[in-house]
Homo-oligomer: A and B are copies of this chain.
Amino acid sequence: MIATLGSDARARALAKDFPILAQATSRGKRLAFLDSAASSQKPQAVIDSLVHYYTHDNANIHRGVYELAARATEHFEAARAKVAHFINAAEPAEIIWTRNVTEAINLVSYSWGLGNLKPGDAILTSQLEHHSNLVPWQLLAAKTGAELRFIEVDEHGIHQLDDLDERLRGVKLVALSHVSNTLGTIAPLETIIPKAHAAGAVVLIDGAQSAPHMKIDVRALDADFFGVSGHKMCGPTGIGFLYGKRALLEAMPPFLTGGDMIKRVQFTTTTFNEIPWKFEAGTSNIADAIALGAAVDYLEAVGMDWIHAHEQAMTAYALERMRELEPLGLTLYGPPNPADRSGIVSFNLGDAHPHDVASILDTEGVCIRAGHHCTMPLMEKMGWTATARASFYLYNVEEDVEQLIAALRKAAQIFKLG
Contact = CB atoms under 8 A, between A and B. Distances in A.
A34 B301 CA distance: 39
Contact of A287 (B106, B236, B368): B236
A285 B99 contact: yes
Contact of A65 (B20, B238, B370): B370
A99 B258 CA distance: 13
B55 A256 contact: no
Interface of A: 19-20, 23, 25-26, 31, 33, 35, 38-39, 41-42, 46-47, 50-51, 54-56, 58-60, 63-69, 99-103, 105-106, 110, 127, 130-136, 138-139, 148, 150, 229, 231, 236-239, 256-262, 264-270, 281-288, 355, 358-359, 361-362, 366-371, 374, 376-377, 380-381
7 contacts: A26-B67, A65-B358, A67-B362, A106-B256, A131-B259, A132-B257, A237-B284
A370 B105 CA distance: 36
Contacts of A39: 58-60, 283
A101 B282 contact: yes
B367 A20 contact: no
A265 B58 contact: no
Contacts of A370: 65
Contacts of A150: 267
A366 B67 CA distance: 10
A20 B131 contact: no
Contacts of A148: 267-268
Given A23-B55, A258-B374, 11 more contacts: A20-B54, A35-B60, A64-B369, A66-B361, A69-B367, A102-B256, A106-B257, A135-B261, A136-B258, A237-B287, A260-B374
A39 B64 CA distance: 11
B65 A362 contact: yes
Contacts of A380: 266
Contacts of A66: 35, 358, 361-362, 366-368
A115 to B, nearest CB: 12
B99 A355 contact: no
Contacts of A31: 68
A31 B67 CA distance: 10
A261 B39 CA distance: 17
Contacts of A267: 127, 134, 148, 150, 377, 381
A181 B269 CA distance: 21
A65 B359 contact: yes
Contact of A237 (B65, B139, B270, B285): B285
Nearest to A360: B65
A239 B283 CA distance: 10
A281 to B, nearest CB: 5
Nearest to A70: B362
A238 B290 CA distance: 12
Nearest to A359: B65
Contacts of A47: 50-51, 54-55
A393 to B, nearest CB: 13
A259 B374 contact: yes
Contact of A136 (B257, B268, B368): B257
